[in-house]
Amino acid sequence: MAMADVKIINGEIFKDNRGQISSINKFSLLGMKRFYVIHQKSTKIIRGWHGHKHEQKSFYCIKGGFTIGLVKIDNWDKPSADLKAEIIHLSESDSKIVCVPAGYANCIKAEREDSILIVFSDKLFGESVTDSVRYESSFWVNWDKF
């Protein structure tokens, strides 16, 4: 991956006659202060670009699938239009979590209807709101091809 400070931690999927357990045993919740769950009904809605100077986030797909774009912001007031977005696919069949450090913007698009994504954050909601920067969803990526 080109963005060396973004980490993808692969997890495990255990199946038997009782069902399935998906886990990320190498992911530490230490430092996380909250989580929220995105229930994405449509594949036509794009969430983002949404950036944070100080907040770290981690993304894990619970159901369906998501395409996540990540861009390391070079100038928060006027970012370069030619920044390269890293595209990552998450799905319920892959037990992996994407850990994004502060200084990035993310954009999220469901690959399937009724997809569910859990997001972990190292900031409380009030801290996150004051550290939130938004850009047009079409700024770095043509989402029509995803």
pLDDT of 92 = 96
Show the domain range for 96: 7-141
pLDDT of 25 = 96
Q: For every one of its 146 residues, what pLDDT tens digit does the chain have, with 9 covering 90 and above?
A: 457 799 999 999 999 999 999 999 999 999 999 999 999 999 999 998 999 999 999 999 999 999 999 999 999 999 999 999 999 999 999 999 999 999 999 999 999 999 999 999 999 999 999 999 999 999 999 998 88
Does residue 32 belong to any structural domain of this protein? yes
Instruction: List the one residue out of 131, 113, 117 whose CA is nearest residue 50.
Output: 131
Residues facing residue 20 across a β-bridge: 15
Does residue 23 belong to any structural domain of this protein? yes
Does residue 2 belong to any structural domain of this protein? no
Does residue 146 belong to any structural domain of this protein? no
pLDDT of 144 = 86
In this structure, what CATH number is given to the domain that contains residue 118? 2.60.120.10
Instruction: List the one residue out of 119, 85, 120 whose CA is nearest residue 105.
Output: 85
pTM for this prediction: 0.93
Which residues, at least 6 apart from 65, have a Cβ–Cβ distance to it below 8 Å? 89, 90, 91, 92, 110, 111, 112, 115
Does residue 1 belong to any structural domain of this protein? no
Q: How many domains does the chain have?
A: 1
Distance CA 95, CA 87 (A): 17
